[in-house]
Structure 1
């Protein structure tokens, strides 16, 4: 890299966790090209086992056991206060019985163990594992410079280690909003590394000049018979113009195992070429993706900020609006009428906001921050199904503060409502994937038949969520699928 280019990179951060989505940055292209090229090479040379070998042997230096504890039989959690994920008041004098990865029953506090191992929770609050509905599994914890200069093995290991740290923050499920997460998901599911459940979107689908078109100016124009760009070949994002191309690219991601489809329906703050106010994809193009997803029993999530783009996506049948901070009242009424989800992130001008060197992006960022406050107000006024997500990208210094993005919502909602958003409500959003959901079963709630993804916490969520600022100290027990990953009871 020329010195001037390196200096420019360091002086112009494109990472974000607040205030802007930078999925369209050229840096993302280069990172994915390197990572996916290495995965492709390894798969060609040694098959899936060679890809999975990237993740073997990784263990974070935390309280996590070398292997999660698996109970020999049923577990009975007693002496607890229960938050069930619905937003209802805490319940006392109950016990929770767990058997074969699921919650078998909610019982009276003095229930007999009947062959179960007893865990005395010491009066702490038992709650469902947290769910981040907009998370970039392989992109959150790698810096810009490392993404461009580090050994590929290091990049893979950082992603796997961050997945383990995510779980140790109490986030037991994530909806991945774009990126090469298929391999890491498999490694987690097979127990090679620890991490949250991942519902992957696969490659982001973008029009030419859209938020997912990562090509450089010198690559334009592309002839009709030209090969795919590097990021398309590697599965970072795919460019689709016209209904037929959108249909094909959508079906390809479904073939690879996408739980839901991600389309770029508008511009962004940090991206180089597409302005924030641009509207992307025609309604007929969006509808092609929606139809293909619905044929597979799942749905389309769209990156978009503006009212015009949101309305077009809703008319086409999109079920989840990602961001949307510039929506006006008419548009929010339409969201309510269509029963769409609003996947909001607390993009505010605070300590987590990005610092941009140019006035244009700073102005766009300010628009989004001001829109965020209005968005949460409109979402409540019109009773929109609202999800919580963080959208942290290329900011390893911010991943430890993932849960801070949840605590901030107490500015707009009472604590139990916030906690319900990040548990039961987000679980309902994940269930939109239907049969494409790789984890059949209820997530985000404590009820009979639900997956046993549980946290035991020091704190009183009926008063505040301050305990989430320090998950290492305040999460006493972390369980996913009935397996204990942290036990300080």
Structure 2
């Protein structure tokens, strides 16, 4: 679809609340002879054909589809599935070593992030929810076609209390003077410290003004942070409610970093809808997540060959071990209770681990069936993204599913991931076609059959 036309469609959609109607001359792509995993169903829809017009799926049929102008791709019996979604990604941090990231400027973060996101797209991740970091310019330039990469749902600065998970000030920065300047990570909008209801309201509203599709706060202690033990709760009831209310005024939601019962229950009771991590939760709290209609955004963090290499004996290493010991328990309980769970990687400062995005997804087979794994990174993720409501940058159709009217974010897989989830761990070998927004970024279908 021509860029100008697409921009007009999105503008009209945002201003008038209508779905765009594409011009008859929008380019078409016809993918034939595929077996479809639609993002949800346990069974493939066999021997199907899919017509894409512009950036949306127009027609799905087991009967032949006629189109004189379409570019035809013969799927040769491969599996067609939705593009993958990473619901806890950090574009600016994932592929920069920590000591580099803390000592370079914002432009460096975004330039490395652009290259990192391009690699993520070629791993089949067509959408990411960026839950902490000023990546608004990267998101806009990706949408404009300046850079190749996934769609980005940006949160902007992760908002923390003093001593909280993203309080990046040095140990010598307290007691803070009332007029003390912001540290560099705050100046560039990667993080922000706020104390008290007025400051939380202000910083939340600032993030929304910057273009946040959802708000990210920190309700409890973290692994990589320097000053907060895991057991602490962060932001009072009133502060948490202030963030939720400000987000609700903009018709969107709050996601929060938390591991423990006390911090998570406080957040849920205030109306937070996405629990990031949650590796130390009890059955009572998981039941509360379900009853509130919220989502568990958890990562398959284990003390294995992909463990974050914190120094032995360090504060962060001890916290990391504690978190990984809870991973098995929480995943098993969440599955048993039917908690809506989505997949994310939360890769930080580790270029090698960022390359294993698909491997991290495949690790979920330890707790879930292949279809349950895929739902976490497709249709269920799409449900959570939809909570951004009118703040979404992508209003024309749903994400994470293959259905008529959905965005044409598609993967053509050599094999059946419903039978072998490990296929997603080797995208270079197993993804024959990668399409985002109706545009093809990889196509090896003509080289060989399945």
Q: Is the pair's TM-score, using the shorter chain for normalization, greater than 0.5?
A: yes
Greater mean alpha carbon deviation, residues 111-120 or residues 86-95:
111-120
User: CA–CA distance in 1 between the matches of 2:304 and 2:90?
Assistant: 21
Contact 1:263 / 1:303 at 8 angstroms: preserved in 2?
yes
Q: Secondary structure at the match of 1:428?
A: helix
User: CA–CA distance in 2 between the matches of 1:185 and 1:258?
Assistant: 11
Match of residue 394, structure 1, among 349, 353, 356: 349
The offset of 1:150, in angstroms, is 6.2
Which residue of structure 2 aligns with residue 381 of structure 1?
336
Match of residue 459, structure 1, among 405, 415, 421: 415
Deviations 1:341-398 (Å, cap 9, x if unpaired)? 0000001111111233225433322221121111111111211110100000100011
Deviations 1:98-154 (Å, cap 9, x if unpaired)? 112100111124333354332211111111000000000111111124335668765
User: CA–CA distance in 2 between the matches of 1:359 and 1:187?
Assistant: 39
The offset of 1:472, in angstroms, is 1.1
Unaligned runs of 5+ in 1: 1-70
Which residue of structure 2 aligns with residue 292 of structure 1?
246
Distance change in 2, residues 1:76/1:215 (3 Å) = same
Deviations 1:406-443 (Å, cap 9, x if unpaired)? 00001111111111211111111111100001111200
Aligned ranges for residues 64-143 of structure 1 at < 5 Å? 73-113=27-67, 115-143=69-97
Greater mean alpha carbon deviation, residues 223-232 or residues 75-84:
223-232
Contact 1:87 / 1:419 at 8 angstroms: preserved in 2?
no
Q: Secondary structure at the match of 2:352?
A: coil
Match of residue 386, structure 2, among 402, 419, 431: 431
TM-score by length of 2: 0.90
Which residue of structure 2 aligns with residue 31 of structure 1?
none
Match of residue 322, structure 1, among 254, 276, 280: 276
User: CA–CA distance in 2 between the matches of 1:314 and 1:366?
Assistant: 26
User: CA–CA distance in 2 between the matches of 1:148 and 1:229?
Assistant: 11
Which residue of structure 2 aligns with residue 18 of structure 1?
none
Q: Does 1:442 align with 2:388?
A: no
User: CA–CA distance in 1 between the matches of 2:106 and 2:240?
Assistant: 35
Aligned ranges for residues 254-403 of structure 1 at < 5 Å? 254-356=208-310, 357-358=312-313, 360-403=315-358
User: CA–CA distance in 2 between the matches of 1:474 and 1:201?
Assistant: 32
Match of residue 238, structure 1, among 192, 195, 216: 192
User: CA–CA distance in 1 between the matches of 2:225 and 2:353?
Assistant: 20
Greater mean alpha carbon deviation, residues 191-200 or residues 453-462:
453-462
The offset of 1:72, in angstroms, is 6.3
TM-score by length of 1: 0.83
Instruction: Identify the structure with bigger relative contact order (alpha carbons < 8 Å, sequence gap 6+).
Output: 1
User: CA–CA distance in 2 between the matches of 1:374 and 1:420?
Assistant: 20
Q: Secondary structure at the match of 1:398?
A: helix
Contact 2:42 / 2:371 at 8 angstroms: preserved in 1?
yes
Distance change in 2, residues 1:406/1:178 (3 Å) = same
User: CA–CA distance in 1 between the matches of 2:390 and 2:187?
Assistant: 27
Contact 2:26 / 2:54 at 8 angstroms: preserved in 1?
no
Contact 1:87 / 1:417 at 8 angstroms: preserved in 2?
no
The offset of 1:212, in angstroms, is 1.3
Which residue of structure 2 aligns with residue 248 of structure 1?
202
User: CA–CA distance in 1 between the matches of 2:70 and 2:264?
Assistant: 51
Deviations 1:424-477 (Å, cap 9, x if unpaired)? 111111111000011112001000100000010112112111222221121111
CA RMSD in angstroms, aligned pairs only: 1.6
Contact 2:93 / 2:109 at 8 angstroms: preserved in 1?
no
User: CA–CA distance in 1 between the matches of 2:79 and 2:62?
Assistant: 16
Match of residue 413, structure 1, among 368, 371, 389: 368
Distance change in 2, residues 1:400/1:193 (3 Å) = same
The offset of 1:77, in angstroms, is 1.0
Which residue of structure 2 aligns with residue 195 of structure 1?
149
Match of residue 470, structure 1, among 403, 426, 429: 426
Contact 2:361 / 2:425 at 8 angstroms: preserved in 1?
no
Distance change in 2, residues 1:114/1:403 (3 Å) = same
The offset of 1:219, in angstroms, is 1.5
